[in-house]
Amino acid sequence: MRWSKSLIPTLKEVPQEAEAISHQLMLRAGLIRKLASGTYSYLPLGFKVLKKVERIIREEMDKNGAQEVLLPALQPVELWMESGRYSDLGEDMVRFKDRHGKEVVLGPTHEEVITDLVRKEVKSYRQLPIILYQLQTKFRDEIRPRFGVIRSKEFIMKDAYSFDRDIEGLNSSYEKMYKAYCRIFERCGLSYIIVKADPGIMGGNVSHEFMVLAQNGEDEIVNCPSCGYAASLAKAECPERIAKHDPCPRCGKELKIEHAIEIGHIFKLGTKYSKSLGAKFLDEDGKEKEIIMGCYGIGVNRIVASIIEEHHDEDGIIWPISISPFEVLILPVNPTHAESMEFAEEVYTSLLNDGIDTLLDDRDERPGIKFKDADLIGIPFRIVIGEKNLKSGKVEIKVRKTKEVITINKGEVISTIKDLLKKQKEIYGKSKV
Amino acid sequence: MRWSKSLIPTLKEVPQEAEAISHQLMLRAGLIRKLASGTYSYLPLGFKVLKKVERIIREEMDKNGAQEVLLPALQPVELWMESGRYSDLGEDMVRFKDRHGKEVVLGPTHEEVITDLVRKEVKSYRQLPIILYQLQTKFRDEIRPRFGVIRSKEFIMKDAYSFDRDIEGLNSSYEKMYKAYCRIFERCGLSYIIVKADPGIMGGNVSHEFMVLAQNGEDEIVNCPSCGYAASLAKAECPERIAKHDPCPRCGKELKIEHAIEIGHIFKLGTKYSKSLGAKFLDEDGKEKEIIMGCYGIGVNRIVASIIEEHHDEDGIIWPISISPFEVLILPVNPTHAESMEFAEEVYTSLLNDGIDTLLDDRDERPGIKFKDADLIGIPFRIVIGEKNLKSGKVEIKVRKTKEVITINKGEVISTIKDLLKKQKEIYGKSKV
C-alpha cells in the first residue's frame, strides 16, 4: 500500500478523551475513530490488524475440528424466555419492538440460538461430538463504555460452542479449546495468565479466564510471583485476606494484586441450556439424554488493544510480526529525490511480489514527521532510503523493537529483510502448548 | 472435512415454506436454517460459500485501490437528521432507545457514517481520490421477508464509497467500480444484466443496477433479445407501453419482461451527502469545495442465492468451482469395505496436501442416500470409489454439471482431478472486462 493513497490519519497529540495507552495509540496511529459513545470505526490500518487476529483464531479453531457458522444478530425473545435468562443481562441487553410489535433481542451472546439450532439438527450420538463457532458482532448497551475498544457497545466476538455425549467428551472438548486459546494468544504475542473464574450468568461450574496484565484493566487478579498461583480476585479463596497481601494459599509467599483485561473466557456449561431448551440426543444405549455443552469466547477487539498495552514504548506501537498491519515499511527520506524513489519503488515491487505485506511511505513530508509516524504505527521492520547512503550504495534497516539500525549494501536489502522476517515469524509460530 | 464429523443436515423433502428454488435448495443442502421470520443461520457449508464470495469481492476491491474499513452498526440518530434521511426509510429502519433514552439507528446503510468520518479526516485535495469499503451486516425491518436470504431482515452488504475532487474523478471511480462489479459477478459464475436505474432515496442522478434473471426475482426488467437493450421496468422510458410488449426503444424489435434479483447497485451521488453533512476539502486552487461522492453496494447473501437460481438442476445445486464449498467430493460407496476406505483416505490426504478443498463422505449410509446427497450439495467433481472398480484398479470421476463419468486407473486420480480443476478455474478466472 502507498501511504499517500491511504487513510492513515496519525495524530501528534494525545487525545484528551483516552485514558488507556492502547486507546491513545489506536487513535494516534489512525487505527480507529470514535463514532459515538462506545462505538468505533476501524480505519484501514486497524482493520488489517483485526483481520490478522481473526485469521489466527480461525486457523486454530479449524485445526481443532471446530466448524464455522454465522448466526443472526436479531434473536427472538422467546428463546431467552425459554432459557430463563431474559432478565439476567438487565439493561445491557438491547431489545426493541419490530414494526409488528414483536420484541427482538440484539444478540449479546448466542447460547440460546446455537442450542436451538442443535436441538433441531442433532438427534443421535453419531452426530456428536461437534464444535461450532462464529466470528460475529455482538451488542451490549454498556452503561459506561470505556478504554476505547476494550469496553464498547459493539464488538467482535469469537464464540464457540461444544456439544458432547458425556462429561468425558466435554472435558476433552474443553481441553482442546483451552489449548487452542493458549496457541492463539501466543501467536498474537500476548503474555497471558489463566485464572479459574466464576461462571456467573453463563452457568455451569467450571470456567477459566484468559487475562492480560494492563494498567487500565478492569479486572483484578491475584498473582503469586513465586509459585505462579493466579486467581480472579472475586473468585479467590478469601478475597478479604488476599486484598491485605496475605500469603499465597499455595506456597505461602507474598501475593501481588494486578489489573488485567479479560481476553478469553471458557465455560463447562454442562446441561444448563440443553435442559431448559430441550436439546436431547439418542445415545448408543437407546436412551434419550441431554447434550453436554461448553462455550468458549474471545474478545477480538480486546486482543488488538491488549497487544498494544503489552507492546509499545514512548514513541508508539511495536507490533508483533504475526498481527502487524504491515511487515515492512519502506521510507524514502526525500521522496523528491528521483533515485531514492526509484529504488524505493523497486524494493516495494520486489517485496510485494514475494508476498510480503509492505507499506511505502511515499508522502512528501518532512523526514521528522515520517520518522515519528513510522515509530507511532510500529511496523516491525523499516527500510530507510537516504540520499547520502544511497550514493555509496547503502540503505538502512531499522528494527522497531530494539531500535537497532543495520546499514547494508542496497543489493542485500531483500535477502536481509526476508531473513529478519523468517526469524521473527519463527518466534510467533512456536508455542508451548 | 469429513462428512461424518460435519453439520451438513440435508433434507429429502422440499420445505413447504420455501417458494424460490434457491431458498428450497439452501435449506435442503443444509446451507442455512431459519431462526425467525427474515433471519437465517449459516451452517458450515453455507458459510464456506459466503466466505468464498467475500474473498472474490475483497480481491477485486483491493485490486482497484479500495481500502477496507469496518464501521459501527449502531449509528447516532443525529447523522440521519443532518442528512435529511431520518424518515426516508420509514419503518424499514430499526431504531431503539438506549438505556439513557437516546435514540439509536441500527445501520441499514452507511452513507451518513462514512461521510461523517471523511469530513473529519479528509481536508486536502492531496488526500483524494479515496475509495473505502466494508463487508458488514446491515439491518432492515422488512415488512414481508421473502425467498430466504433474498429478502431478509439481516444481511451482509459490501458497501463502498468513493470520494473525489470533481466530476471527472467521480466518473473514473465509478467506472473502476462498475468494471470491478462485472469481474466479481463473472468470477461468481453469474450471468448478469446491467440496467440504468432510479437512484431513489440514495440520491444523485446516475445509477446502475446489476440484475440476475430469476423466476422469483422481485424486480422486473425489460430486456431486448435482439439488441441487448435492458432497463429496470420502473425506469423504462415508457412503462405502460413496454408493459404491452411494444417495440424496443432502441431497435424496434419485441421486448421481453423478465423477473430478476438485484445483486448490485452503484450510484453517482454527487454532493448529496457532502453538502448536507458539510464534507469539504481545500482544492489546489485554494478554494474550499464539496467532496464528490459515489456509492456502490453488493448484496452478498443474494449472490449466493442467485448463483443457485442460475446453477441447479432437478437433483440439486451445481456450484461454479470459484465459490463451491468444496472443490472435490470423495465418495467411497461402501465405507465398511476396508480397501475402499483406505484408498479414500489416501486420496483425501493427498488432495488436502495439495491445497485442494475436499470433502470426504465417510458416512456409513446407503449408496442411494450418498449419491442423492452428493447431487444435492453440488460439489463440481466427485471421486466415486466402488468395490468392484477398485478390484480392477479403477475409480470413477463424475462431473456434477454434465453428469459425465470418467473411469480411470486409480493411480491417475490426483493428476486427473488437478487437470479438471485447472480447466474449470481458468473459465471462472477469465473476464470480459
Does B157 lie in the same domain as B20? yes
3-class state of residue B427 by DSSP: helix
DSSP tag of A412: G
pLDDT given for residue A348 in this prediction: 98
Q: Which comes out higher in pLDDT, residue B256 or A375? A: A375
Q: How far is B423 from chain A (nearest CA, A)?
A: 25
Q: Do A36 and B72 touch (CB under 8 A)?
A: yes
Q: How far apart are CA B220 and CA B218, in angstroms?
A: 7
B367 and B295 in a single domain? The answer is no
Query: Which cell is B53 given?
Result: 464470495
Average pLDDT rounded to a whole number, residues B33-45? 97
Angle in degrees, 0-180, between the axes of helices B167-187 and B413-429, rounded to the nearest 10? 150
Q: SS3 of A328, please? A: strand
Could you tell me if A390 and A263 lie in one domain? no
Tell whether A298 and A332 lie within a shared domain: no
Where does the pLDDT of residue B328 fall: very low under 50, low under 70, confident under 90, or very high at 90 and above? very high
Torsion of CA A317, A318, A324, A330, to 10 degrees: 90
Instruction: Read off the amino acid at residue A71.
Output: L
Q: Which pLDDT band holds residue B222 (cuts at 50, 70, 90)? A: confident
Pair (B136, B263) in one structural domain: yes
Percentage of chain A modeled with pLDDT above 90: 84
Q: If you count residue pairs, one on A and one on B, with CB atoms under 8 Å apart, how many are there?
A: 135
> Is A199 inside any structural domain?
yes
Whether the Cβ atoms of residue A85 and residue A75 lie closer than 8 Å to each other: no
The number of beta carbons lying within 10 Å of the beta carbon of residue B240 is: 8
Q: Is B148 inside a domain boundary?
A: yes
B10 confidence band (pLDDT: 50, 70, 90): very high
The per-residue pLDDT for range B400-429, each reduced to its tens digit, is: 999 999 999 999 999 999 999 999 988 887
- Residue B360 CB coordination number (10 Å): 27
Q: Which residue in chain B is spatially nearest to A45 when comparing CA positions?
A: B69
A106 contacts in chain B (CB < 8 Å): 106
Overall number of domains in chain A: 2
Q: Answer whether A383's CB lies under 8 Å from A347's CB.
A: yes
Q: Do A35 and B120 touch (CB under 8 A)?
A: no
- What pLDDT score was predicted for residue A223? 83
The predicted model scores a pTM of 0.96
- Give the best residue of B39, B41, B97 to mutate against chain A (max A CB count within 10 A): B41
pLDDT band at A31 (very low <50, low <70, confident <90, very high): very high
Among B41, B50, B72, select the one facing A41 at the smallest CB separation: B72
Residues of B in contact with A75 (CB under 8 A): 35-36
Cell, residue B215: 423466476
Query: How would residue B276 be classed by pLDDT, with cut points 50, 70 and 90?
Result: very high
| Contact at CB, A127 and B94, closer than 8 angstroms | no
pLDDT in tens, B284-293: 999 999 999 9
In-domain check, residue A196: yes
Are residue A399 and residue A267 in the same domain, yes or no? Answer: no
Rounded distance, CA A329 to CA B168, Å? Answer: 32
| Greatest alpha-carbon span in chain A | 82
Last residue of a domain, one of B246, B280, B313: B313
Distance from CA of A99 to the nearest CA of B (A): 6
Instruction: Identify whether B318 is part of a domain.
Output: no
The span from the CA of B264 to the CA of B269, in Å, is 16
Q: What is the pLDDT of residue B41?
A: 98
Q: What are the pLDDT digits (tens) for A355-411?
A: 999 999 999 999 999 999 999 999 999 999 999 999 999 999 999 999 999 999 999
Average pLDDT of span B98-123: 97
A303: left (phi over 0), alpha (psi -120 to 50) or beta: alpha
Overall average pLDDT of the A41-61 stretch: 98
What is the rounded average pLDDT for all residues in chain A? Answer: 94
Taking an 8 Å cut-off on Cβ atoms, the answer to whether A143 and B99 are in contact is yes
Residue B158 in contact with residue B126, Cβ under 8 Å? no
| Residue A35 to residue B67, Cβ atoms within 8 A | no
Distance CA A328, CA A318 (A): 13
Residue B416 within any structural domain of the chain: yes
Q: Is B366 exposed, middle or buried (0-12, 13-18, 19+ CB in 10 A)?
A: exposed
pLDDT value at residue B254: 86
**Bridge partners (DSSP) listed for residue A155:** A138
Contact at CB, A72 and B36, closer than 8 angstroms: yes
Q: Cell numbers for A235, please give them.
A: 473468585
B367 lies in the same domain as B286: no
**Residue type at position A333:** V
Residue A246 has pLDDT above 60, yes or no: yes
Q: What number of other Cβ atoms are within 10 A of residue A433's Cβ?
A: 11
B199/B85 Cα distance (integer angstroms) = 14
Sheet containing B74-76: give its strands across.
B74-76, B103-106, B94-97
- Same domain for A195 and A127: yes
CB contact set of B392 (below 8 Å; sequence gap of 6+): none
Based on the domain organization, do B266 and B182 belong to the same domain?
A: yes
Residue pLDDT, tens place only, A114-162: 999 999 999 999 999 999 999 999 999 999 999 999 999 999 999 999 9
Could you tell me the pLDDT band of residue A427, with boundaries at 50, 70 and 90? confident
Nearest residue on chain B to A50, alpha-carbon basis: B70
Per-residue pLDDT, averaged over B242-252, amounts to 76
Q: How far is B117 from chain A (nearest CA, A)?
A: 8
Pairing of strands A381-385, A328-332: parallel
CA distance A281 to A121: 10
Q: What count of residues does chain A have?
A: 433
Contacts of A127 in chain B (CB under 8 A): 7
pLDDT at A247 over 90: no
Q: Which of B271, B292, B313 is the last residue of a domain?
A: B313
ipTM score of the complex? 0.95
CA A51 remoteness from chain centre: 10
Please tell me the predicted confidence (pLDDT) of residue A70: 98
Query: Residue B128, Cα to own-chain centre: how many angstroms?
Result: 29
Q: Which residue has the higher pLDDT, B281 or B255?
A: B281
Could you tell me the residue range of the domain that residue A355 belongs to? 326-429
Instruction: Please give the pLDDT value at position A110.
Output: 98
Tell whether the model's pLDDT for residue B200 goes beyond 80.
no
* Tens-place pLDDT, residues B115-157: 999 999 999 999 999 999 999 999 999 999 999 999 999 999 9
Nearest to A43 among B69, B99, B127 (CB): B69
Residue B332: give its domain's CATH number: 3.40.50.800
Q: What is the pLDDT of residues A52-104, one digit of tens each?
A: 999 999 999 999 999 999 999 999 999 999 999 999 989 999 999 999 999 99
The yes-or-no verdict on residue B431 having pLDDT over 70 is no
pLDDT at residue B94, as a whole number: 96
Among the partner residues A47, A98, A154, nearest to B68 by beta-carbon distance: A47
pLDDT at residue B353 greater than cutoff 70: yes
Which chain A residue has its CA at the smallest distance from B4's CA? A127
* Residue at B79 is within a domain: yes
Within a domain: A251: no
Predicted local distance difference test score (pLDDT) of residue B236: 55
Look at residue A238 and tell me whether its pLDDT is greater than 80: no
Question: Per the CB < 8 Å rule, is B130 touching A106?
Answer: no
Q: What is the pLDDT of residue B221?
A: 87
A389: distance to nearest CA of chain B, Å? Answer: 29
User: How distant is the Cα of B337 from the closest Cα of chain A, in angstroms?
Assistant: 19
Mutate to test the interface with B, among A68, A74, A155 (most CBs of B within 10 A): A74
Task: Please compute Rg for chain A using Cα positions.
Answer: 25
B70 contacts A42? CB cut-off 8 A: yes
Considering the domain architecture, whether residues B122 and B196 belong to the same structural domain is answered as yes
Within its chain, how far is the Cα of A172 from the centroid? 24
**A301 and A336 part of one domain:** no
| CATH at B44 | 3.30.930.10
Choose the mutation target among A63, A78, A104 for the interface with B, i.e. most B CBs under 10 Å.
Answer: A104
- The whole-angstrom separation of Cα B379 and Cα B23 is 18
Same domain (yes/no): A191, A333: no
Residue B365, in any domain of the structure:
yes
Cross-chain Cβ contact B39/A117 below 8 Å: no
CB contacts, 8 Å: A48 with chain B: 68
Q: Which residues contact B419 (CB under 8 A, 6 or more apart)?
A: none
Rounded Cα–Cα distance for residues B198 and A310 (Å): 52
CA of B13, closest CA in chain A: separation in Å? 15
